A = this chain, B = another copy of it.
Amino acid sequence: MADPAPATFELYATLPSQIAVRIGRAIVDGQFQPGQKLREVDLAQSFGVSRASIREALRTLENEGLVTILPQRGAQVTTLTAEEVRDIFEIRANLMGLACQRLAASATPTVGGQLETLLKALRTARDESESYAHASLAISEFCVRNAGSKRLADLVLSFARQTARYTRLSLSTAERRKQSYAMWRDLVDALVNRKPAAAERHARALVLATRDSVLTLLEGAD
């Protein structure tokens, strides 16, 4: 049987981790709304496992920031205030800056070629909101995964997942996608030409631009 996952994919055999992945995807994809209560007995029944496994999965998701657990009051999908969203984007901007600085300092021609392929895919996806969000996540993930620090990569992607719902929202306008693509082009240019300082600056600006767009939407929605 062919393994659909690449060889670097860390296969966790334990039940709780598998369940955490599935619930986490449901939250990031928007199937579970913020504030929704996640009752252990319901989840245990729907997944066909015991409450102990569900509890452990919920702890994992709490660490990823997708779920909030209150003692004696159970778990719910994390609800972020506008200020918390702002904080997350600023942290992420800094860490993305660090990752891109390191990537620029160590980029090989091979990595450069892959970056330009991903940039081209981004350009092609500009017309459509969903596909652009997907391509944007792909190139973003490629950058941090090749920065030479698994810890840094996991951290950045964790924050990206926590705000994925809002990022998608902000990319629904063509104007915003155009701005995003222009900034990605600058960033990729700095990366393939091995300019660490410029790469850090552009990476920060890229994430902070998303922050501004998202916050405008959030304040307009109130």
Taking beta carbons and an 8 Å cutoff, which residues of A are in contact with B? 12-14, 17, 52, 55-56, 59-60, 63, 71-72, 84, 87-88, 90-91, 94-95, 97-98, 149, 151-152, 155
Q: Which residue in chain B gives the minimum CB-CB distance to A98?
A: B94
A97: chain B residues at CB < 8 Å are 94
Copies of this chain present: 2
Contact status of A91 and B56, CB under 8 A, knowing A13-B71, A71-B14: no
Say yes or no: A151 contacts B95, CB within 8 Å.
no
Say yes or no: B151 contacts A84, CB within 8 Å.
yes
A95: chain B residues at CB < 8 Å are 91, 94-95
The distance in angstroms between the C-alpha atoms of A113 and B39, with both chains bound, is 48
Say yes or no: B155 contacts A71, CB within 8 Å.
no
Say yes or no: B87 contacts A91, CB within 8 Å.
no
A14: chain B residues at CB < 8 Å are 71-72
Say yes or no: A87 contacts B149, CB within 8 Å.
yes
Partner of A60, one of B59, B151, B155: B59
The distance in angstroms between the C-alpha atoms of A144 and B151, with both chains bound, is 21
The distance in angstroms between the C-alpha atoms of A60 and B63, with both chains bound, is 8
Give A71 Cβ to nearest chain B Cβ, in Å.
5
Partner of A56, one of B13, B59, B84: B59
Contact status of A151 and B91, CB under 8 A, knowing A14-B71, A52-B52, A71-B14: yes
A151: chain B residues at CB < 8 Å are 84, 87-88, 91
A155: chain B residues at CB < 8 Å are 91
Q: Which residue in chain B gives the minimum CB-CB distance to A60?
A: B59
A60: chain B residues at CB < 8 Å are 59
Q: Which residue in chain B gives the minimum CB-CB distance to A200?
A: B94
A63: chain B residues at CB < 8 Å are 59, 63
A84: chain B residues at CB < 8 Å are 151
